[in-house]
Amino acid sequence: MSVVIELLKFQTDPNLREKFIQKDAEIWTTALAKYPGFLSKEVWINPNNPSEVTLIIRWETREQWKAISPADLAVIDGKFAQALGNTYQMVELAEYQVRKFPHT
């Protein structure tokens, strides 16, 4: 089985980090969970950099992830931007495939 990972790294005002995480869960996670293929989402906090937030989103397949329409993504992003204003910046976007092997 192969899972696809969407990695998004953001810089945000450290004083607004918890608001960023809360609004991301309310807006982005809630919206993405409605799409086929969405498996889970984790928020990674860097203990050495309070302005950094990394989001790890797991998808069943790349095709399901990429099937979300750009129009839908723009609407969701607009809600998120409206909730937070200009207080964050995406600094990294990456895609990974996770392959699980049986223990030998």
Write the secondary structure of 15-60 as one string of H (helix), E (strand) and C (coil): HHHHHHHHHHHHHHHHHHCCCCCEEEEEEEECCCCCCEEEEEEEEC
pTM (predicted TM-score): 0.91
Q: Which domains does the chain have, with CATH numbers?
A: 2-99 (3.30.70.100)
> Over its length of 104 residues, how does the chain's per-residue pLDDT go in tens digits?
579 999 999 999 999 999 999 999 999 999 999 999 999 999 999 999 999 999 999 999 999 999 999 999 999 999 999 999 999 999 999 999 988 777 66
Distance from C-alpha of 35 to C-alpha of 48, rounded to nearest angstrom:
34
